[in-house]
Structures are given as C-alpha cells and as structure tokens.
Structure 1
C-alpha cells in the first residue's frame, strides 16, 4: 500500500513507476485506503489491464464506503457461506414438481439454490441425482420443475440436501462504475442515501484536490464550496446531509474504521478464496444517528468551530466530529466489559482508542475467567502466542495500554453470577456509567441484563454466529431490556450442538443418524457410483464446489483404496 500511495504522486513518470512497482510485486489483490480519486482511477485501470482485483475503502467522520472490482466472470464457489441445508421430505408431486418438507419444517432455501435427494421411495431415478435448480414456493415448499415428471409416482420418505454449485459474478471497471454505480443498500430506511453519498464523495475528492485540504469542521463557507463541486446531473441532495458530510469530512473515528475495515477485510477474503458472494459493487455507509441531538447537552447542531479546533492530540479526529466537550466527557467515563474474547477485544480496543477512561476519574473494568488458547489467536487480536495460558482479561488490559498508555483499566478474572455478587456488589455497579457485554451464553447475558435493569445502567449487548452478528442497545426508560423478548424455539437442531454437545434425546438420535450416514452410507454410495459410471461421476463432481469435490474424492479413496477390507476378518473389523 505504501508503494501504491508513493506511486500515486504527480511526477512525470508516475504511471511508469506505478506499473513497475505493482507488477514487480505480483500483486493479486490491491487494497486502497486514504487515496485520492486520481490515484484510485490510475491504479484501478492498472489492475484491470493486468487482470488483478482491486478493493477501495475510505472513511471520513461518520461516513464511509467500500468498492470492489474483481473483474469479469469472478467465480464464487459458495454463494452464502452458510451450512448446507438438509431435511426430510413429506411429499414430492412429480407432475407439478412441488416438494413439501416433513411437518412443514422451514427449509431455508432460496431461488436458484440446488438440491439432491436420497432415501426416497418411488420416483426411481431421483436418489443421487445431479444437482437440481429450485424455486421457492414458501417456507416449507419448493419446486424442482419437470425433473421428476417421467418418474414413477412418489411413495414415501426421503431426504433432501442442498448442494453448493459454483456461480459467477461480473463487475464493471472502476471508472465506468463511477458513472453507472450499482449499490448495495446499507439502511433501507434511507434508500436514497447511497446515490447521494456517491455524489458527495466525488465532490469531496474534487474539493481536496482543488484546495489541498478537507472541509473544515463547522465551516459554512466550506459547505458552499463542497456543494459547488457536486457532479453535474446529481440528484437533489438535502442541505442537511451536505452540511453533515462537510462538517464530518475532517474527522477520523476508530469505530467507523473498525466497521468499514472489517467489511473490507471480508471482501478481501472473498477475492482470494472465492468463498461467498462479493459486494456488487458499492457500499456506502453512514452513522449519522451517532451524532448527539437536542436531547443532550452535546447537541451536535450547536457546535461551533472553536469546539472542534485541533489541539495536536490523538483525539483531534474525533473532536472534529463530536467536539471537545464530548471528548472530555469520554475521558471521565467508567465502564464494565464482561468478557475478553473476540468481541471483548474489539470493544476494549475501540474504547481505549476513543479515549474512554483516559482522564481523571475514568476507569474501564474488564472480567473474564478464561485462559488464552492457541485456537483463540486467529480472531482475538489483542493476544499473541506468548500469551497462551494467561488470563484473557489481564493480557487484553496489558495489550491496550501498550497503544494508549493513558487508559485506566482494571482487569478481573471472575465469573459474573449469583455466586460472585460479593465482588460485583452494589458499590461496584453504583460507580459505573454503563456495561458492555461480550458473552457467549444466554444465561450470563440475562443475568447481566437483570443487574443493569436493577441499577438503571445502559447495556451494550452483542453476539456473533459464524458470519452473522447482532447488537442491541438497552437504555433505561427508553428501550426494552435484553430479556424482554425471547426468540421462538428452533425446530432444527443447531449444527454446533449436534456435533459438539448433544444433550437431549432428539439430539442423540439425530447425532447417531448423522454418524451412521457419514461412516457407513455415504462412502459406499459414492464408491458404487464411481464404479458404475466413472464418466458420469466425474461430470457430477465437476459441478460442485472445490471443498465438496475434495470431500467426496477422499471418501471414495478411503472406501476403494485406503480402508478397503481384504478379508472377512477385515470386514468385521471395519464394521
């Protein structure tokens, strides 16, 4: 990236330098941040010409965006990254092609997904078929078209399994996409914001190239200058949005950078692994709701230029957006973080970088009784290999003080619960301004929710599951509490529960069935298909994702070569 930025200078041979530097590094993916529009255009043109991929991201104040161009016909091996769906069948109508799940269970499929069948009685020829493209009728029914129209009638039973089939997407080059953008919508309540922000970013880059600086915070003159640089033909943009964008343009918020950086990193992984569908192609984000309103003494609309003047401080970028009175209040905040895992590390890093508890009277308390394991290191970024075996809370506290020595932090290693209320007592909660949960179980979340309700404390609740995440802000007298709503019980058994902790009768039954299928049925079926029709087997295999191909071939190899019994005793031992 340093090479890219240096190459984006204004020297007479800049294009030659750019081509030489990028090509010599054999860059497969180029990621640009904090780069001028002219450099973006030049580097994006280079990536297209050399069949490379490019990802561009930028953030100013409460606004940010991500753009990607992965070229034409970019292969996607797994469109969603979700677990493969599998369920029992109640009926298949061979005439209409309609398939109904057992007990009207939610199938979770989408139009364009592919499925195959097994254990179906009747409809001879449907078991083990090539992947069939489906259309969804409703939550418990989908249609396979006329695929089974020539088969005998359906009798009973059967299982349906989703098959991940590679697809492709095509992107426009950056220069063309600027004029003909395709947007992913960040907030459907502000559907028109994407196009408006697209024009504002273009005007901002033009402003910076013309004046050599960003618009100044709270400067009405710079708002007028920015508005004059909006592209011709832009749709009408509300003056309030232009003002917020201009006032925020000199700001730099760690929280916004974390969000857009996380999304951009996931897009980079998609470019490299072909796993999950990439953005197509622009994602404009805004967090204007974070700006304090007239319900607080920090009303953003009443800020003056003097409230946001830089002080040669690490917090200048934040004060440019929220003002110094707001920043000084953050210095005095006292917060409790419960959990120091993946979310806890992110929370602690953000609070420390924001300046929370970095002044007189401020304090962050964090607790986690767990010790660091090697498997934690891929996502809990405050830890290093040397920390393995240490307490998470203590190592996390030590890590954040290394990059902000002003933060005042106290690390605990106690579980929150009824048995530790002599530690987390009335005096403990009475001196807090808020609580941030980073827990991995519902019982602990509900306990902390009850404590926050009792002590009338704000609670920031969050959680993740694979590539999904959720957040909930609980504020006394304004919102419902975490425990106020309960998700309906799932009809399906979660895969993680089934594989790692089957703790109910239905779990163990399903677990045993899955194990039997995995060890006895599937390898034999795959091997028989290979022996019966090698060409057809290979044709079927070529339609699957790379990971599924490897899995199936390994099963065939194990059945026919590595684990093949050579005697009756071997057969008994294998069984």
Structure 2
C-alpha cells in the first residue's frame, strides 16, 4: 500500500490507474495527462507513447459514474470475444449464390470472410480456378436485396403433405471488389471458374482503432457517435437515456467538480445550503453551455435529481460499489485489445430509490451502516436486518451476494437469518473468481467456508450453512414451514433443474425471487415479484439473444 505523494514517476509506473474517489478536477486532469503521455523505450531504444489506461469509477449516493481513457489510438483486436463463426459451403451456383449447411449464415452486409478447402471445377478458356479464393483477403459478404424463398413439402398432423414456402436465410453472394489472392494478385469475379466441392468459411475480424479524448476534453464533449450526440453519454436505463438522463447525470458530475473548485469542498451530507448552491451552479453551467454551444446541455432541469445528488454525495452503497467495481475490473483487461472498452462514459442513477426529502431518521448513528442510514433511514436498516433469506448456491455469484449481505447488515437483527446451501467442494479452478475462498480451502465445502468468511466480515451476520440439494427429496427440511417463513429467495445457481425447482417453490409460496447468471463476460439478472412480474426465471439463463446482452 502506497501512502505517499502521487508523483509523476509513481503514476507512470503502472499499466492502469483507477481513481475510485472523486478528486478535485485539477488533480484528475493531472493524473489523466500523465497516463496519456507516458513514454517507454522500444526494442530499438526509441521512445514511444505507451499510455497508462486511466479510469474514474465513483459512487455518490444513488448515482454512479465511470470514465475510461485508453489513449489517442487504442487498438481493439477482438471486439466481443466471441468465437469466430465457421460455416461449411453446401452449394455454389454459377450465378454466385452461396448456400451454407446451416439454417442461417448470420453474416452482416460487408462482413469480411476467408475461404479454405475450396475445390474448383473444370475451367473454360480464360477462367481461373475457384480455388484461388482459398486464403484470399478482402472478400466481403453481399446480402441479397430481394428476399429469397423456396418451396418445400410440409407434413401435417394427419400425415398428409402440402406445399409451402419459406424464406431462405442461409444464402448470400460475394463482394470481391477488394479481394486479392494469398500472393497479392487482384481477383476478377468474371474470370472465376465453377465450384466443384468443399469450402470452409470463417469470418474475419479486423482490428478497430478507438480514439479516446482526455478527461478534460471529454467533460466538455463526452458524446461520440450519433446516438450519444442525440441522447448523451450511455445510461443503463434505455428509456431514461432517450429522455436525456445520460446528459443530466454527466452535467451533474461536471457541476460537482466546479462546485469543489469554487467553494473548496464537495457538497456536504444533507446540507440544504450546499444543495441550493449546487442547483444554481448547475443551471448557470447549463445556460453558459447553451450560449457558447459548447458542453452538454439539458432542456429541462430536474431539481429533485440535483438535490438528491448533493444531499447524498458523501455516501456510498455496497451494492453500487460492487456493480461499478465489477465493470471497471473487466475494463482493465481490455487494455490488451480483447473486447471493446467503454467509450468513454457510463453514467447511472437510481433516483427512484429516494424521496423528495431526506428521511427524518437518516441522521448518522456512528455505526458501520451510516452510509445506508444516511440515504434510507434507520427504520430501513432495521427492516433489512430482520430479513429471512435463502441463498441457493455459494459459487462465484454466491460469494459476491454473501459479501454484500454481510456488508449491508442484512440478516443481522434478532429476527433475521440467512440460510445458504451448496453441495459442491472448493476446487483450485474456483479460486480465480470465487473470492471468499483461498488455496487452503481447496476440498472444503463451499457453503460452510463462504459463510465463515462472510461471518468474519460481519460477526453480527446470522447465517446457517447447509450442504443440501434443493429439490423434492429434501422437502423434509425445506418444507412448507421453511418456505412460508422466508422473505426472499436468491438464486446463485449453475444448473436449470435447480432453477426450475426454486422458481416453482417461490411461485407456490408467493415469495420474491432474485435470479441471475453469468456466461463468460455476459450476464443476466431478473427480479421476480409475486403478482407483479412473470415467473419462469430459468428460460433466459442459458439463451442470450445478442441484442439483449450486457457485455463487460
């Protein structure tokens, strides 16, 4: 742990720098510039710019900000980390229609592809064997403008057949306008001979260069791309983002930095004068930006959002910090070119969690839960301390949830209790992501070990660890009395059968269920509330439509 001054040399000695406390803007600008301008000597002895990746990730009350700066020219070698799509050629007509042996080829217009193992047929005079496409570069997919259909025989329930028509999704053409053979010769489509057999198609992913702005410049102009120009920096709530929430929260961060520069301190907890001054400063900056046509502006000033931001600026929430920390930890990995980084801001807020005024019982108590009490009040803290929760699974997600519950003070009251169960034993491979476990815990029960670690974090946690499956054969323990006395069931599972079972029990007993799952860098989460939301959590767990995925 470094406790001294953040000197230029010290900052530039790292590969990544993460700021998780809002500092005065001059200090933030200084650190960012040092990261952007870091130089290293190459093998030839010549100095080259080698930026230190710079992040700001901060939580203030019910609001969070993430900023990323990967330098002037960050190369993304693999945008999404997905395996390259590989297909087999089924047929290739003289007109150039290629059909693959799959229901869909899944390629987009202009997608680059590479061929292997094509065998060309007998060529006419002047033609070139089609096998020259093997290993060729610059080949692109050209979709059919007109939809393709084919007729087929459909077998009815009574065994009779009828002719029907279906759209073809497995065919496409080639755009060879930029194609060159493996030895660099230009390919002329008209000269290619016929196809005989074979052909493996693999998609080609070209590197992408992302040009990041400095923090100082990006505060003024954060938007990059038409969507951000229209709606502002990204906000996880799509509806709120389209209404300008991203712009509003961004301008709040700009304003709080100006607030500190003007008054010498950040907004104080529950301070009415500070909140009034914060609102005025926000309005002033917004009007100045409109006149100068520089910087972010909002059409409507949400004073409730501004006052809440100021009142609770000095606080942090356990769950919010875990959310931001998980995202930024994954962003650090992107320094090496795998996955597309945040470009460059991600703001979020959950203003619906707080009211129009500070709760009457939100005075700090001098306890470890003061940040939560300062936002939600003492009565809320007492409520969550007496919850009775069933956590099913103590793996990667389960460890995170146990830590969060312990740190928040859930199940620490006289009536509160947490049951956690997991049949598995700790393996060496678990240690990279199941952070409550250490090397000395290998072969020990997950549930007992995780519960002990959470208890060490907060000795007041009332937790009982079990090594039992949750299914029909254990209903002698997990009986109706057990389920009826729960306030919440929380899934942290890795299989569908157990998900179906807990979901059915929550449905039968009318209990809320928190559901989530991960697969690589993808995740899903769902809150299932009796009589308000649909049940059936397991349906979404192992199927991830690409337009519904949150990538980290």
Q: TM-score w.r.t. structure 1 length?
A: 0.75
Q: CA deviation at 1:352?
A: 1.2
Q: Is the partner of 2:131 in helix, strand or coil?
A: coil
Higher helix content, 1 or 2: 1
Asked if the contact 1:251–1:319 (Cα under 8 Å) also holds between the matched residues in 2, the reply is: no
Partner in structure 2 of residue 115 of structure 1: 113
Deviations 1:227-283 (A, max 9, x none): 122223132332232233233323211111111111111111111x22111111111
Aligned counterparts, 1:137-536, within 5 A: 140=170, 144-146=174-176, 147=179, 149=189, 150-155=191-196, 158-182=199-223, 183-191=233-241, 192-211=244-263, 213-216=265-268, 219-230=271-282, 231=285, 232-233=288-289, 234-236=297-299, 237-271=301-335, 273-289=336-352, 291=353, 300-301=354-355, 303-304=357-358, 306-482=360-536
Asked if the contact 1:184–1:281 (Cα under 8 Å) also holds between the matched residues in 2, the reply is: no
- What is the CA–CA distance in structure 2 between the aligned matches of 1:488 and 1:174, rounded to whole Å? 38
Partner in structure 2 of residue 65 of structure 1: 65
Q: CA deviation at 1:206?
A: 2.7
Partner in structure 2 of residue 562 of structure 1: none
Asked if the contact 1:332–1:361 (Cα under 8 Å) also holds between the matched residues in 2, the reply is: yes
- What is the CA–CA distance in structure 1 between the aligned matches of 2:79 and 2:518, rounded to whole Å? 20
Asked if the contact 2:528–2:535 (Cα under 8 Å) also holds between the matched residues in 1, the reply is: yes
Higher strand content, 1 or 2: 2
Partner in structure 2 of residue 542 of structure 1: none
- 1:452 to 1:39, Cα distance in 2 relative to 1, 3 A: same
- What is the CA–CA distance in structure 2 between the aligned matches of 1:469 and 1:457, rounded to whole Å? 23
Asked if the contact 1:218–1:303 (Cα under 8 Å) also holds between the matched residues in 2, the reply is: no
- 1:215 to 1:22, Cα distance in 2 relative to 1, 3 A: closer
- What is the CA–CA distance in structure 1 between the aligned matches of 2:266 and 2:488, rounded to whole Å? 35
- 1:44 to 1:118, Cα distance in 2 relative to 1, 3 A: same
Q: CA deviation at 1:322?
A: 1.7
Q: Is the partner of 2:398 in helix, strand or coil?
A: helix
- What is the CA–CA distance in structure 1 between the aligned matches of 2:267 and 2:471, rounded to whole Å? 50
Q: Is the partner of 1:56 in helix, strand or coil?
A: strand
Asked if the contact 2:426–2:446 (Cα under 8 Å) also holds between the matched residues in 1, the reply is: yes
Q: CA deviation at 1:359?
A: 1.3
Deviations 1:134-171 (A, max 9, x none): 46679655664124724223455533222343332221
- What is the CA–CA distance in structure 1 between the aligned matches of 2:212 and 2:55, rounded to whole Å? 12
Q: Is the partner of 1:125 in helix, strand or coil?
A: helix
Partner in structure 2 of residue 512 of structure 1: none
Which 10-residue stretch deviates more, 378-387 or 220-229?
220-229
Partner in structure 1 of residue 230 of structure 2: none
Q: CA deviation at 1:113?
A: 4.5
Asked if the contact 2:55–2:69 (Cα under 8 Å) also holds between the matched residues in 1, the reply is: yes
- What is the CA–CA distance in structure 1 between the aligned matches of 2:174 and 2:109, rounded to whole Å? 11
Q: CA deviation at 1:112?
A: 6.1
Partner in structure 1 of residue 104 of structure 2: 105
Q: CA deviation at 1:133?
A: 4.6
- What is the CA–CA distance in structure 1 between the aligned matches of 2:518 and 2:3, rounded to whole Å? 36
- 1:61 to 1:32, Cα distance in 2 relative to 1, 3 A: same
Partner in structure 1 of residue 151 of structure 2: none
Q: TM-score w.r.t. structure 2 length?
A: 0.78
Q: CA deviation at 1:93?
A: 6.6
Indicate the structure whose relative CO is greater, using CA pairs within 8 Å and at least 6 residues apart: 2
Deviations 1:67-98 (A, max 9, x none): 111112212221111122112334557867x6
Asked if the contact 1:75–1:167 (Cα under 8 Å) also holds between the matched residues in 2, the reply is: yes
Asked if the contact 2:53–2:332 (Cα under 8 Å) also holds between the matched residues in 1, the reply is: no
Deviations 1:102-142 (A, max 9, x none): 353252x4566532123444432223333635466796556
- 1:111 to 1:216, Cα distance in 2 relative to 1, 3 A: farther
Partner in structure 2 of residue 130 of structure 1: 137
Partner in structure 1 of residue 37 of structure 2: 49
Asked if the contact 1:217–1:321 (Cα under 8 Å) also holds between the matched residues in 2, the reply is: no
Asked if the contact 2:496–2:538 (Cα under 8 Å) also holds between the matched residues in 1, the reply is: no
- What is the CA–CA distance in structure 1 between the aligned matches of 2:84 and 2:37, rounded to whole Å? 37
Partner in structure 1 of residue 228 of structure 2: none
- What is the CA–CA distance in structure 2 between the aligned matches of 1:164 and 1:133, rounded to whole Å? 11
Partner in structure 2 of residue 78 of structure 1: 78
Q: Is the partner of 1:439 in helix, strand or coil?
A: coil
- 1:345 to 1:111, Cα distance in 2 relative to 1, 3 A: farther
- 1:360 to 1:211, Cα distance in 2 relative to 1, 3 A: farther
Among residues 17, 21, 43, which one is paired with 1:30 in the alignment?
Answer: 17
- What is the CA–CA distance in structure 1 between the aligned matches of 2:512 and 2:19, rounded to whole Å? 37
Q: Is the partner of 1:58 in helix, strand or coil?
A: strand
Q: Is the partner of 1:401 in helix, strand or coil?
A: helix
Asked if the contact 2:517–2:541 (Cα under 8 Å) also holds between the matched residues in 1, the reply is: no
- What is the CA–CA distance in structure 2 between the aligned matches of 1:473 and 1:377, rounded to whole Å? 28
Q: CA deviation at 1:35?
A: 3.3
Q: CA deviation at 1:469?
A: 0.5
- What is the CA–CA distance in structure 1 between the aligned matches of 2:485 and 2:220, rounded to whole Å? 54
Partner in structure 1 of residue 123 of structure 2: none
- 1:435 to 1:87, Cα distance in 2 relative to 1, 3 A: same
- 1:302 to 1:269, Cα distance in 2 relative to 1, 3 A: same
- 1:304 to 1:124, Cα distance in 2 relative to 1, 3 A: closer
Structure 1 unmatched ranges of 5 or more: 8-17, 292-299, 492-575
RMSD, aligned CA: 2.8
